[in-house]
């Protein structure tokens, strides 16, 4: 397989990973917006007033929308792809880790670390591979 085909495969992988992250995010967004008490009860959490819980769900939905352009055309929207990792996913991991381990918040918030961390690392790996292959082609190695 030549490097151009390999880049195309890594771009497809990136797109699929980001879409998986969007779908997983929606698994939080929908219940946070429409059934916040039920959803928080699943994790043994409470939040009053519920407007803040719903607002967090709305913000997660808005952030997720900004992931979409890079899944459609990563060459045109490369900056969006990088921003989905730094700061978006990485700051989610840092925030929830900090809150659980240093601010003594419930361990249920580690679900945010697992979700953002796994999608962020997988997405970052794809971006690194894409850039590496592009550089090899540009240097005449491909």
pLDDT digits (tens, 9 = 90+) for 33-78: 999 999 999 999 988 999 999 999 999 999 999 999 999 999 999 9
The pLDDT of 101-126, averaged and rounded, is: 97
Task: Please compute Rg for the chain using Cα positions.
Answer: 18
Measured from the Cβ of residue 93, the count of other Cβ atoms closer than 10 Å reads 19
142: confidence class by pLDDT, cuts 50, 70, 90: low
140: confidence class by pLDDT, cuts 50, 70, 90: confident
Say how far apart CA 142 and CA 129 lie, in whole Å: 14
- The domain in which residue 20 lies consists of 3-138
Q: How many domains does the chain have?
A: 1
Work out the percent of the chain whose per-residue pLDDT is above 90.
94
Measured from the Cβ of residue 94, the count of other Cβ atoms closer than 10 Å reads 14
């Amino acid at each position: 397989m030549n490097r151009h085909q390999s880049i195309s495969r890594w771009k497809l992988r990136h797109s699929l990973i980001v879409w998986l992250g969007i779908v997983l995010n929606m698994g939080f967004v929908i219940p946070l917006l429409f059934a916040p008490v039920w959803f928080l009860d699943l994790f043994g959490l409470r939040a009053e007033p519920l407007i803040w819980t719903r607002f967090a769900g709305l913000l997660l939905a808005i952030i997720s929308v900004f992931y979409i352009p890079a899944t459609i055309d990563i060459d045109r929207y490369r900056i969006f792809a990088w921003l989905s990792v730094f700061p978006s996913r990485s700051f989610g991991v840092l925030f929830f880790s900090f809150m659980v381990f240093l601010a003594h918040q419930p361990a249920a918030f580690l679900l945010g670390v697992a979700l953002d961390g796994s999608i962020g690392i997988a997405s970052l790996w794809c971006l690194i591979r894409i850039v590496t292959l592009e550089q090899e082609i540009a240097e005449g190695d491909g």
